[in-house]
Amino acid sequence: MANSNISVNELTQRISYHLQFLQGDTVAARTDANSVFESDHNAYWQATSLAINDVIISKLQTTRARQLQSGVRSVNYLSLEYLMGRMLSNNLHNLDLYDVVEKALQPFGVELADLCEQGADLALGNGGLGRLAACFLDSLATLDYPATGYGIHYQHGLFKQSFKNCRQVEKPDLWREFGSPWEICRPESAKLVPLYGHVEHQTEEDGTVKSLWYPGVTFKGIPWDIAIVGYNSNTVNVLRLWEGKALKPFDWDLFNRGDYLSAHHNNVYAESVSKVLYPNDEHDAGKELRFIQQYFFCACSIQDIIARHQATHGVDWQAFAKDTVIQLNDTHPTIAILELQRILLDDYQMSWDDAWALCQSVFAYTNHTLLPEALEKWSTKLFERVLPRHLEILYHINEDFLNKQVNVKWPHDFQMRAKLSIIEEGAERMVRMAHLCVVTAHKVNGVAEIHSKLVKSDLFPEFNALWPDKLTNVTNGITPRRWLKACNPKLSALISQHISQDWPKDLASLTQLSDMANDTGFQQAFMAIKRENKVVLAKDILELTGVTVSPDAIFDVQIKRLHEYKRQHLNFLHILALYNRLLENPDLPIHPRVFIFGAKAAPGYHLAKEIIYAINKVAEKINNDTTIQDKLKVVFLPNYRVTLAEKIIPAADVSEQISTAGKEASGTGNMKLALNGAITIGTLDGANIEIAEEVGDDNIFIFGNTVEEVKAIRANGYNPFEFYEKNEELRKILDWLDSDFFTPGHPHELSALKHSVLDGGDPYLALADFESYVESQQALDLAYKDKARWAKMAILNTALMGKFNSDRSIRDYVENIWHLKPCD
């Protein structure tokens, strides 16, 4: 177990070796402690990463051998997104090699902490769903479960964000422009992916009709493997990412005829399939390329799952069903269902019923959102053109479902048929991907108690009536290795001084800290670390925004994708209210506060971008207003990503989790912030509800309308103007947005926001929750002024987050859905 048995000396030698042979000798030649240049850090980072990779790869091989030998059941996690962040620090912590490598670098005069700041984030995801996938991989390896993650090897990850004149500017993310030390290409496991073409039907001698698909194009999928290292475990699993290539990358005939550009046209076309991550979350882009991306990914992954199984078991579908579970991370990989059914029918001549039973037994589906605009639909026209055989299969599945299930439960109920059908009839016929998932999967789960309850009661009530045991809950979690041990080393050290060192594997043991929540000495130590972390973040803030902030102010943090339902604009309205009060009374006795935002807006989401602009404009004004005595600062940190989260979270005092009740499926930033001792101000939404249950009402600030109240407000016809007219302060700050107060010489520049919460109908009920939010913020301000009380709250938040370990989530999946056994 634990430490990978490699000595400091040996590591020094390996680093030196990689430096010489892979970097050339320019850097290696300067190996005396006084001549390390900033620019050398990248070379040292690469060499150190490669040295560590040697250790990881040998562990990977032993893991594989062990898993093959014991032939145990394994899970295949299919996700279009993985937000891995940086790998070096995390891998070192998980291998228990951090201190060893620190020493191994001494002869070079290089600080490991500096190297951990090198390298791009692996930002192959948008937000919560992608980061959840990354946490789950960490937990699966930590708990020694056999698991393979499948994804896409995007050439461009999530765009880089900067601000120009306060507006978001997007730039491409070239995370592996010069290669990445963490991945291994496996061309020997390439897969072929047929697309387009037509289907012909052939009647066999026994009268059965056989479908023959003649594809129009074939792509190739090349796998790149990234090793996933468990924490203090014997397991290194694999994340396999597919890259698109042409079958015939270069056309020599065309080339020889002088058509140099067309000669590699095929490759440009095929490579476009893994070119870029779609930057929309919660909004279906409906683009053909995205559809092909999904199919490409599913086809490669399903073939790979089958090939890996057959390599040891031959063609044995019973064994396959016993050994295999495929988890669909939202509906994005749904076509995997049709692909497996197609392969079983067409390539292995299995009977329909046997093939379908097999599909039902292997697939499970996780729903991550209730937002209607995020529920994927693809037109049958597009399906027909790109995947004609799959559409045929889909119709068959739907027919069987409607006739054998719906019609039996609700005879001759045509409304019910229309409602549950996988096909939505309308001007354009659409395939409802979530319906196909629910019809197929043996288990469907939501990601927090309330969310799963709403999946049952509001999203799929009829499916729940049809199959009462199918819909279930697995509350999300986060890995405490990255989100406490690695990102907050000082707090981790303090914790390890007081309780067993096992806490990163056994987060529930943090409850022991509760006993010390009232201990003045411990409170001081805990809050001193928080302050040190704030000093570090204050430096980063200055560097990133040019704004000086005091580490003695409250650091109030909202970090997540920019969305109306997440209500960054509610936070913004509170800031305006505070500013207004300060202008009216500069001696207002509030504790100084720094409002910290981090958020990317989808490039096509206009209002989200207007909200960023408004926050930046208001920040400009407030940060330069000397009359308010530095009581208020507002900073919007550019390019929010995993790496930035790792810096912000340890320094946060307040965690803003203020979505409209019923809209945030779970949230996971809420868990990370609370684990690091930030106090949540939040609505009763998603996992906030479970966080409140764990920490107790005294240690969280809950405000706003509940799910039930939100429903009632809507049912009675919500009128935001009532709040605007009733609340003078609200009226004043909204009217500010029409003036040129924040945009001198340019009135109305911030009006879009006002318009959306008034004439636009305030779809996310910001005005309905405003008053209660402001009151809750006042209570929070009071609490902060009582140092001992705040320290106690912060300690209890850290102490009581045990439930939100992603190891617990994984155990829930294993017990209720996957039924795996550890292989250690």
Active-site residue list: 368, 560-561, 566, 668, 672
Minimum gap (Å) between residue 390 Cβ and ligand 26W? 19
| Neighbouring residues of 314: CB distance < 8 A, sequence distance ≥ 6 | none
Residue 396-435 contact track with ligand 26W, rule CB under 6 A, x = bound? ----------------------------------------
Minimum gap (Å) between residue 128 Cβ and ligand 26W? 3
Per-residue CA distances from 153 to 226, 265, 274, 671 (Å):
10, 20, 6, 29
Is residue 686 within the footprint of ligand 26W (CB under 6 A)?
A: yes
Is residue 667 within the footprint of ligand 26W (CB under 6 A)?
A: yes
Report which DSSP code applies to 709: H
Site for ligand 26W in 473-532 (CB under 6 A): 476
What is the C-alpha end-to-end distance of the chain, expressed in Å? 9
From the CB of residue 684, how many other CB atoms can be counted at a distance below 10 Å?
19
Closest Cα to residue 370, out of 597, 659, 640, 642?
659
Q: Quick one: which segment of 212-220, 281-289, 512-520, 528-536 binds ligand 26W (CB under 6 A)? A: 281-289
Instruction: CB nearer to ligand 26W: give 433 or 681.
Output: 433
Instruction: CB nearer to ligand 26W: give 447 or 661.
Output: 447
Is residue 283 within the footprint of ligand 26W (CB under 6 A)?
A: yes
Is residue 369 within the footprint of ligand 26W (CB under 6 A)?
A: yes
Closest Cα to residue 544, out of 475, 485, 605, 616?
616
Q: Quick one: which segment of 193-201, 335-343, 662-670, 726-734 binds ligand 26W (CB under 6 A)? A: 662-670
Minimum gap (Å) between residue 161 Cβ and ligand 26W? 17
- Contact with ligand 26W (CB under 6 A) among 138, 144, 281, 694: 281
Q: What are the E-state strand segments in 411-490?
A: 423-424, 430-432, 443-446, 471-473
Q: What whole-number distance in Å separates Cα of residue 283 and Cα of residue 276?
A: 16
Is residue 690 within the footprint of ligand 26W (CB under 6 A)?
A: no
Q: What whole-number distance in Å separates Cα of residue 343 and Cα of residue 362?
A: 14
Instruction: CB nearer to ligand 26W: give 433 or 734.
Output: 433
Minimum gap (Å) between residue 685 Cβ and ligand 26W? 9
Tell how strand 554-559 and strand 654-657 pair up.
parallel
- Contact with ligand 26W (CB under 6 A) among 564, 664, 769, 807: 664
Look up tokens 């390390």; give the residue: 36
Q: Quick one: which segment of 34-42, 244-252, 275-283, 506-514 binds ligand 26W (CB under 6 A)? A: 275-283
Instruction: CB nearer to ligand 26W: give 41 or 377.
Output: 377
Instruction: CB nearer to ligand 26W: give 281 or 323.
Output: 281
Distance of CA 423 to the CA centre of its chain: 29
Instruction: CB nearer to ligand 26W: give 369 or 743.
Output: 369
Tell me the three state secondary structure of residue 639: coil
Residue 150-189 contact track with ligand 26W, rule CB under 6 A, x = bound? ----------------------------------------
Minimum gap (Å) between residue 82 Cβ and ligand 26W? 12
Residue 114-143 contact track with ligand 26W, rule CB under 6 A, x = bound? ------------xxxx--x-----------
Minimum gap (Å) between residue 110 Cβ and ligand 26W? 37
Minimum gap (Å) between residue 683 Cβ and ligand 26W? 13
Crossing angle of the two packed helices 335-342 and 388-401, in degrees rounded to 10: 100
Q: Are 803 and 811 in contact (CB under 8 A)?
A: no
- For 314-432, where are the alpha helices, taking DSSP H only? 317-323, 335-342, 352-362, 380-386, 388-401, 407-409, 414-420
Tell how strand 183-185 and strand 217-229 pair up.
antiparallel
Can you say whether residue 507 is alpha, beta or left, with left for phi > 0 and alpha for psi between -120 and 50 degrees?
alpha
State which H helix or E strand residue 597 sits in: strand 593-598
Minimum gap (Å) between residue 445 Cβ and ligand 26W? 10
Structure tokens at 643: 């790496």
Q: Quick one: which segment of 10-18, 95-103, 282-290, 671-679 binds ligand 26W (CB under 6 A)? A: 282-290
The 3-class secondary structure across 141-183, one letter per residue, is HHCCCCEEEEEECCCECCCEEEEECCEEEEECCCCCCCCCCCE
Is residue 447 within the footprint of ligand 26W (CB under 6 A)?
A: yes
Q: In b/e form, how buried is each residue of 735-759, taking b as 16+ CB within 10 angstroms?
A: ebbeeeebbeeeeebbebbbbbbbe
Q: What whole-number distance in Å separates Cα of residue 393 and Cα of residue 74?
A: 27
- CB-side exposure of 556: number of CA atoms within 13 Å? 25
State which H helix or E strand residue 44 sits in: helix 41-70
Instruction: CB nearer to ligand 26W: give 549 or 687.
Output: 687
Total of residues contacting ligand 26W (CB under 6 A)? 23
Is residue 665 within the footprint of ligand 26W (CB under 6 A)?
A: yes
Instruction: CB nearer to ligand 26W: give 341 or 476.
Output: 476
Instruction: CB nearer to ligand 26W: give 450 or 486.
Output: 450
Q: Are 791 and 527 in contact (CB under 8 A)?
A: yes
Is residue 284 within the footprint of ligand 26W (CB under 6 A)?
A: yes
Minimum gap (Å) between residue 667 Cβ and ligand 26W? 5
Is residue 282 within the footprint of ligand 26W (CB under 6 A)?
A: yes
Instruction: CB nearer to ligand 26W: give 293 or 301.
Output: 293
Per-residue CA distances from 488 to 45, 237, 290, 528, 532 (Å):
21, 26, 38, 13, 11
Is residue 807 within the footprint of ligand 26W (CB under 6 A)?
A: no
Minimum gap (Å) between residue 597 Cβ and ligand 26W? 18
Instruction: CB nearer to ligand 26W: give 55 or 374.
Output: 374
Instruction: CB nearer to ligand 26W: give 561 or 593.
Output: 561
Is residue 376 within the footprint of ligand 26W (CB under 6 A)?
A: yes
Is residue 449 within the footprint of ligand 26W (CB under 6 A)?
A: no
Site for ligand 26W in 8-67 (CB under 6 A): none
Is residue 374 within the footprint of ligand 26W (CB under 6 A)?
A: yes
Residue 330-359 contact track with ligand 26W, rule CB under 6 A, x = bound? x-----------------------------
- Contact with ligand 26W (CB under 6 A) among 280, 301, 616, 643: 280
Tell me the three state secondary structure of residue 26: coil
Minimum gap (Å) between residue 455 Cβ and ligand 26W? 12
Is residue 437 within the footprint of ligand 26W (CB under 6 A)?
A: no
Structure tokens at 158: 């999530």
Is residue 221 within the footprint of ligand 26W (CB under 6 A)?
A: no
Instruction: CB nearer to ligand 26W: give 161 or 809.
Output: 809
Closest Cα to residue 467, out of 544, 508, 406?
406
Q: What whole-number distance in Å separates Cα of residue 780 and Cα of residue 576?
A: 17
- Contact with ligand 26W (CB under 6 A) among 90, 235, 666, 683: 666
Q: What whole-number distance in Å separates Cα of residue 816 and Cα of residue 808?
A: 12
Considering only CA atoms, give the Rg of the chain. Answer: 28
Closest Cα to residue 676, out of 708, 713, 701, 651?
651
- For 236-351, where are the alpha helices, taking DSSP H only? 252-256, 260-263, 265-271, 288-313, 317-323, 335-342
Minimum gap (Å) between residue 722 Cβ and ligand 26W? 30
Q: What whole-number distance in Å separates Cα of residue 98 and Cα of residue 6?
A: 12
- Contact with ligand 26W (CB under 6 A) among 153, 160, 368, 481: 368
Minimum gap (Å) between residue 566 Cβ and ligand 26W? 8
Which residues of the chain form contacts with ligand 26W (CB under 6 A)? 126-129, 132, 280-284, 330, 368-369, 374, 376, 447, 476, 664-668, 686
